[in-house]
Structure 1
Amino acid sequence: MTGNRSGYPLYFHGIDQAVQGDLDRIAQQIQNHLVSAASLYQLPPDLEDFTGRSTELQQIFDLINQSIYERKTSATVIAITGKAGVGKSTFAIHLAHRLKSSFLDAQLYVNLHGTEQHPKQPKAVLGELLRRWGVDADQIPSQAGERLDLLQSQLMDKQTLLVLDNAVNEEQVRSLIPRHCCSVVLITSRHSLADLDRVAVLHLPELPDAEAIALLYRLINKETIQLPPETAQSLVQRCHCLPLSIRLVASAIQRQLSKPISEQFEQFDRLYQQVHSLRLSHAEVRPSFLFDYQQLSPEAARLLRLLGLLAESHFTSTIAAVLLEAKPDDAEQFVGELVDLKLIRRIGGGHYQIVHDIVRLLARGQLALEESSAMRQLARMRVSQWYLETGQMMLWGLNPQTRNVIARIADRMTQQPIAKLEQQLVEGSLNWFEAERSNLLTVVEWAVQADDPDRLIALVGKLALFFDYSDDWESWEQTHKLALNAARQLGDAQPIAHLMNNLANAYLRQGRLDQAKELYKQSISLYESLGEVILQAKTLFNLGNLYINTEQLQSAARCWKSAIDCLPEDSNERHHLQQQMQQVQPYLWQQIGETEADRSQVRGLFQSVGAAIWRFISE
């Protein structure tokens, strides 16, 4: 279990005195990322103007009804495939809303980010689903198979609808499908997924001409825009009958109500001819994107370009302000402009999302064309600094000592049990880290590319505890190796020792004990040379844990005793370390404690004898 997390992640800063008076705001910021009690009902909103697809919808209804009639005990799995922009996600979400009245126990949605730089790992998705089901983070197993078993037990005999959106391949989703429950699983992907067991595949084609024209007419204001049938036909054909492309064109037409439709069509046709003559990528969507993009104000266009820097399609108005180096209210105005043109959508709680990964890729292309490398680098540095500061705040919600401080401050406002508040802080922090995982890893890559070792080391230091909670050992190892190399190039012993300890913790979690032991020993040696007795003691404690795992209790006892001896008597650090030892291995601690008691008695005897001798001499 992740709760058996006894090693110290040492590259961690406590709560600075400068922010002690702002802990209420920090607690609220973390709790804002909590998944609510209604988290078992997480379908994104349906499109009110969804049009067509009646044939495909009926095919799936028939399939599900057949499964119900046959009383199948396994999940009904349906893969919805098709090219980019054809509307797979929109179709799956619309279908899920049509089905949800039959699946009242849970309606779960997960974006797997299959087209992103860092797709979600199955183990992380299982952890996310378990947390939504109400399982405490400390009770979630570390292994993917155990997580699936636990999720399976939670779903047993439950009517559950699960949407796995934007899958990269079969391997990503295979371990996410419940084996024995009354559920329907909808998966969307650009790939066929035909190798999945017992999966029904529905390939979603482009819209038929009649449905494409119906969608276009539904999206524009027909009372103010007179769109002749032949023009509508030409428009949808130039959009290749793709819903995404049609939606972008319609929003641009709506934006220019004062311009005759014939002029708008000529403008769009020129873009269409230009894109196809130059054989540019994403030719089925690019003309519509450019048609929309040209309607934007300079500030909103720049915001869209800069959003292309991010690894994730979702963002907040705060990030928009950071990217633009603008006031929050101004950023909100430009965000609203992008919403009006259907380039981004609101997803609630001050969060937004670029409507499609193709739009984000095209925006990134405009960034390369219109922004200098120096301006792009400045934007990256602003975003990196924001993630560094916000990551530190969220880290306080994970660290046991600091989250207790924050929980006690928050308790004054909420009057909830401290333990409950601490659990909320853990969940809120984990939700933030998980949602921002790709962006955080990208920010680390930026620091490497910019040859900025100080920023790299600081960023990586914020991630160790999150990787520990999420059991993301691969990312843990990769980021810490990068930071360790940077620290060695700087020749700075303290971050080297910190990172060695953290990397050793990662190896210990994976059972790579020889590598962990060597790094712990090197870290202890460096701390001793630096005179960092507290950090030396904590790393000795970690090494003792390693020996406990290999049943070398005498070696463990020596490490723990050395750790205690490093620290001043009656110090808070010594007391806390002793508590940790008692929790991890009570029997071993008892032996060390008895030795300590014997030593204390001997010291007391010598002190008494010394006092008597002194009185005798004084007399």
Structure 2
Amino acid sequence: MGTSAFGDFLRFYRSRIPLTQEELAERTGLSMRAISDMERGRTLTPQLRTVQLLISGLDLKGDEAAEFTALARAGRMSSAEEKPEFPSSVVMSHSLPPVLVELTGREAEREQLTRFAAEAASASHLQVAVVHGPPGAGKTALAVDAGHRLGTRFADGCVFLDLRGMDAEPLTPERAAHRLLRSFGVDERQIPADRDDKLSLYHSLLRDRAVLLVLDNAANEPQVRPLLASSPGTLVVVTSRNTLTGLDARHRLAVGLLPLDRSVALLGAVAGEDRVAAEPEAASRLAALCGGMPLALLIAGNRLTGRPQWTIAHLADQLADERRRLSVLRAGDLQVRAAFEISYHQLSPGAATLFRRLALVPGPDLSADLAAVLVDGADEALEELADANLLGISETPGRYTCHDLLRVFAVERLELDEDPDVVREVGTRLRHWLLSVATRNARMFDHDAADSVRDRESAGRWLALELENWRGALRSAVELGEHEQVLALAKAMHWYSDMHGVGELWREVFGAGAEAAKALGNTRDTAEQLNYLSWALYALCGQPHDALHVHERAAAVLVDDTVTEAWTWYYGSAIRRRVGEPEKAVWLGRRAVELFEQAGYLIGENLALSLLGLMLGSVGSVDEAIEVQERGVMQHRKVGGDDGLLSMMLIRLATNLAAAGEVLASLEMLDEAESLFLRHGTTAGVARVRHNRGIVLMDAGRLDEAKVQLLSALDEARLSDHRIEIMARLAELADAAGEVGEARELRVRALAECDRYDTPAVRGTASELAAALTG
């Protein structure tokens, strides 16, 4: 989650004094966690009292205090929900359950039901709305709330019927029609005994009425369909755990889980707002552990109400243990586990098996291919679980999601219902499948291979979508000592990592690869993986000193392998420049070129020439820099090498061309690089081009064009210090345009980003930003 403007200014004012978060907490009486959440943007709506304490603790006066207060107010306004258009009203209906807890966090859903009711009033035929969602999502509470609010809009009021769809014996349509006839005021003696006659009478009476008919907890379409009849002016709201896709419904409303802020609000509505306000951090943690599920939040609130001596933190600590979580989430006859069990026991054997084995999936979602590794007949089982709302449908077509609490329940059922030996076998099969497919797809990006572009694009999609799953499989393999599989995957990821993924990912992957190679006694692979790890540290994580330490380890284990030695000096050259040793960087760059040329490895030689050009440019030898970079580009074009490598070399060449005053030639190089990246859908590469183009245009005085390029690059910037440079440059452009407020905000954001990186260049930029902000 990114920071907010309020959080960025809080960090800036704290750093200006300077104060640590702990010191500011002591000054204000706020907790370190609260201050951290505000700075990180996790808390967007600080209370006025909190803002006042911060103003005092930060010694803000005058305009700064007013600006700080306005930022907090803006956050509250942006997160506030609009109130429902119509006030609640009480419908006099003996069948409608009472509202025991005010419906909280469902403003959008309430508004939709209000619109459905308005449409029904003017419709020429029956309007049906299906409200579906997972167990515990609050479907019934939403429908009951609608009955009380909207029932008086219908001439004949609201009628509510629980179809008992999750019971062992749900209401049959005949029994349901019987109860509805009683709700319409029909005397028991006038209700026909014959099933068809009973339904006919029900249909005729419904056609003569305009009602809000709530059919709660429906089992399936055959149970509901006989209860529908052509009835203008009537709205039928059907709630179900199943999606009821076979029902001809005018409206569908999926009731999902609550976001964190609304979860906390619901917790406050049950347990008491004062109690929640007294422990805001613990309340947020408790709400998060409930996973946004209203039933779990209601139970948690009830447990707190029944135990006034408990702190919220105490209950949150109990829920933190996954093995106890579902047992803790019970209050009286309300149980999260029981709600899940009802749906689980109605599944077919194949769907139940797949549901249990979801506990073995490392990531938050899965595909049909992955599910097929877990069970036979996965496609049918997935659809059954999705229809039962025990799996969610991802926004990415073909993928499914699983709620945290349902995953905990799946773990329980896996332990209870499956043989441990079978579980181990399935877990091993899944882990090895993920590692094998990830390795195979990563090899598609090997510049020495001749795979088609189409294969590479397909492989990239798989690696991105299954990232959390193959990363989880890698972690398990590391724990189990599966060194061969770990090393194979890490080796395959080398070229893929160039333009994909974040620093933390590659630090983990290549760190695991280095340890696996060491355990296998392979010194060449150990040096190679340490080289890749050093790259992740300096290029993506902004930790050049750590990278230098890893580089020295790689150099220490070098064996008689010319290419590996060349890569070691290649990465060492980039690291030395980052730590402020440009002359040594040039020397190492030259050595890398010599070794790649000696080994006859043209890809490495061309890349090393390109990097050497950057090193030469940094010491002022621009003419030689251009010469060696043009040599690399020419050699690459001659043999028809990979487009991605050519693009990287063109960007580096463009930097030196611009430094030599050859702006048009620089822009031509960047245009070509961008077209190649766009051809292959490499968004990180496109951002890198636009970042560089923005700087070239800005230095050439073409400020409006520069701003467009830099803004386009900002969100996708990948290398460690690029976002800082982009924001600093945009701040300068804002200054030039007289946009003082925008310039200030950009500098504050850039300064906040500087905290993440430890390089001389970033430290220098941070000093410049701070001076501009305080000057």
Provide TM-score, normalisation by structure 2. 0.39
Higher relative contact order (CA 8 A, sep 6+): 1
- TM-score (normalised: structure 1): 0.47
Bigger Rg, structure 1 or 2 = 2
